[in-house]
Amino acid sequence: MSVPIGGTWLCDLGNSRAKLARLELGAPVDVVALDWAQPDFAARVRTVVAAWPRPRRVLVASVAADARAGQLRELLAVDPAVEFEFLRSPRTACGVRNRYAKPERLGIDRFLSMVAVHARTTGAGIVIGCGTALTLDAVAGDGAHAAGLIALSPGRMLEALRGATSIADTNPDAFAAGTVDDTAAALHAGCWAAAGATVEWFAARQRAALGAAPVWLHGGWAAPLAAWLARDGFEAEVFDHAVLHGLASWCDRP
């Protein structure tokens, strides 16, 4: 039986995970997120795409190491005639204007998440990515990238503390997940509070310049960050698969 051909596959390759999806009716569907480190990564990728119609086009937004991006390309096993494009951040696309001196140096994940948020808002928007890194960007109502910061995510803060201190030597349970321990509680609270305070400060600063602007969170740690912020009454909306939605918008860009 012949395999149907057509459509577009979308790939969001992060530092910790790879997300795969199909484009259907202008949106990502059948989204699958896989950790690079999981032992059955290759088998899972092959199983997922074997059930999909073969594409005419594959769009990839990658901030992963080149070796991992190359690995995924091999696993997708698409025909050489298929248009396979690794995107780089442009000067302008989809109504968003990149103000970096060298536009390609703005992470494509950040650019596409701003594209996705800009498409959903009528004014300015604040875009927070919480995965391996904590990224904070503001996009003005006219689509200009107004400001951007990069910091450690809470998980990476914990890893940094573990590697740079002797805490684990004297308290081996301090970094264990789910541990009920005074030091563990202090470590986790400190890292999440640092991330939350950074988000609140950034949002306040950007709202002073841009006016009212909703905060959108995306990435693997977006939901717990939203819950932490909500403890102080700070409102933020989780935008699942924002980069994939940005890729979907890219497909229809003028």
**Tens-place pLDDT, residues 116-168:** 999 999 899 999 999 989 999 999 999 999 999 999 998 888 888 878 888 87
| Nearest residue to 192 (alpha-carbon basis) of 163, 162, 230 | 230
234 domain-assigned: yes
Examine the domain organization and report whether 66 and 179 are in the same domain: no
Using the 3D structure, point to which of 37, 58, 86 is the last residue of a domain.
86
Examine the domain organization and report whether 115 and 200 are in the same domain: yes
116 domain-assigned: yes
Q: Take residue 76 and report the two structure tokens written for it.
A: 């997708």
Confidence of residue 253 (pLDDT cuts 50, 70, 90): low
Examine the domain organization and report whether 168 and 204 are in the same domain: yes
Q: Examine the residue annotation and report whether 181 is marked as an active-site residue of this protein.
A: no
Q: Take residue 75 and report the two structure tokens written for it.
A: 């696993």
Q: Is pLDDT at 195 greater than 50 in this prediction?
A: yes
Q: Is pLDDT at 5 greater than 60 in this prediction?
A: no
- SS3 call for 198: helix
| Nearest residue to 14 (alpha-carbon basis) of 30, 29, 36 | 36
Task: Specify the DSSP element, H or E, that contains 113.
Answer: helix 108-120
| Nearest residue to 110 (alpha-carbon basis) of 85, 83, 138, 84 | 138
Q: Take residue 239 and report the two structure tokens written for it.
A: 């935008």
17 domain-assigned: yes
- What mean pLDDT comes out for the span 30-58? 94
Domain that holds residue 78: 8-86
Q: Is pLDDT at 70 greater than 80 in this prediction?
A: yes
Confidence of residue 231 (pLDDT cuts 50, 70, 90): very high
Q: Is pLDDT at 87 greater than 80 in this prediction?
A: yes
Average pLDDT over the chain reads 90
CATH of the domain at 130: 3.30.420.40
Burial group, residue 135, by CB count within 10 angstroms (0-12, 13-18, 19+): buried
- What mean pLDDT comes out for the span 81-86? 89
| Nearest residue to 207 (alpha-carbon basis) of 119, 146, 149 | 146
Q: Phi, psi (5° rounding) for residue 38?
A: -70, 140
Catalytic residue among 35, 79, 109, 240: 109
Q: Is pLDDT at 185 greater than 90 in this prediction?
A: no
Predicted local distance difference test score (pLDDT) of residue 78: 83
Examine the domain organization and report whether 63 and 107 are in the same domain: no
This prediction's pTM: 0.91
Using the 3D structure, point to which of 86, 104, 119 is the last residue of a domain.
86
- SS3 call for 109: helix
20 domain-assigned: yes
Task: Specify the DSSP element, H or E, that contains 22.
Answer: strand 17-24
Number of domains comprising the chain: 2
The radius of gyration of the chain from alpha carbons, rounded to an integer in Å, stands at: 19
User: Strand 96-97 vs strand 145-152: parallel, antiparallel, or unpaired?
Assistant: unpaired
Examine the domain organization and report whether 174 and 237 are in the same domain: yes
Residues constituting the chain = 254
